[in-house]
Structure 1
Amino acid sequence: MDMPAACEIDRLPEDLLEHVIALTSPGDAFRATAVSRAFHAAAESDTVWSRFLPNDLPRFAKNEIPRRPPSTTKGLFRRLADEPVLLRHKYMRMQLDKATGAKCFTLSSSALQPPAYSTLVPVGSDFDYSKRGKRFLQAIRIPYYLPGPDIRAKVHRNMLSRNTTYGAYMVFKLLDDRSYGLDLPLHEASFGMAGRESIRKVCLYGYAEDGGGAAGEPPRKLILPSWYPTRCDAIPPMYDDVHFPRKKTHGWMEVELGEFHNEEGDGVVSISLIHTSDARPTVIVWGIELRTI
Structure 2
Amino acid sequence: MTCFWNISSRLPEDCVSRVLSLTSPKDACRMLVVSTEFRIPAESNVVWDKFVPSDIVSSTTLKFSSKKELFFILSNSILIDGGYKAFALEKSTGRKSYILSARNLSILHSDDINWTWKCIKESRFHEVAELITVNRLEIQGRIRTKTLSPNTNYGAYLLFKISDHAFGLDSIPCEISVTVGERILTNNTAYLRDPDDKKHQLEGLFYRNRAQLMKERVNKGDERIAQKREDGWLEMELGEFFVGDDEISEEEITMSLMEVKGNQLKGGLIVEGIEVRPRRTN
State the TM-score, normalizing by the size of structure 1.
0.75
Q: Which residue of 2 aligns with 1:81?
A: 75
Counterparts of 1:149-160 in structure 2, within 5 Å, are 150-160=138-148
What is the Cα-based RMSD across aligned positions, in Å?
2.8
CA deviations on 1:133-185 (whole Å, 9 max, x unpaired) are: xxx1321122443311x1012122222222222211111112333449xx852
The offset of 1:49, in angstroms, is: 1.0
Cα distance in structure 2, aligned partners of 1:100 and 1:250: 22
Alignment partner, residue 41 of structure 1: 40
Measured after TM superposition, the shift of residue 276 of structure 1 is 5.4
* Structure with a larger share of its residues in helix: 2
Residue 51 and residue 243 in structure 1: after superposition, are their counterparts in 2 closer, same or farther (change >3 A)? same
1:1-293 mapped onto 2 (5 Å cutoff): 8-13=6-11, 14-57=13-56, 60=59, 64-65=61-62, 69-87=63-81, 89-116=82-109, 117=112, 118-125=114-121, 127=122, 129-130=123-124, 136-148=125-137, 150-175=138-163, 176-179=165-168, 184-194=171-181, 195-207=183-195, 223-227=196-200, 228-230=202-204, 241-248=222-229, 252-263=233-244, 264=246, 265-275=249-259, 277-278=261-262, 279=264, 281-282=266-267, 283-293=269-279
Tell me if the contact between 1:106 and 1:288 (Cα under 8 Å) persists in the aligned partners. yes
Query: Please, what TM-score do these two structures have when normalized by structure 2?
Result: 0.78
The answer for the alignment partner of 1:220 in structure 2 is none
Structure 2 counterpart of 1:255, one-letter code? M
1:95 counterpart letter in structure 2: A
Q: Which moved more, 1:17-26 or 1:45-54?
A: 17-26
Q: How many positions carry a matched residue from both structures? A: 251
CA distance in 1, matches of 2:270, 2:21: 43
Q: Secondary structure at the match of 1:137?
A: coil
SS at match of 2:107: coil
Quick check: 1:70–1:76 contact (8 Å CA) kept in 2? yes
Secondary structure of 2:14 counterpart: helix
Alpha-carbon distance change, 285 to 259 in structure 1, aligned in 2, over 3 angstroms: same
The CA distance in 2 between the partners of 1:105 and 1:185, in whole Å, is: 29
Q: 1: distance between equivalents of 2:233 and 2:53?
A: 32
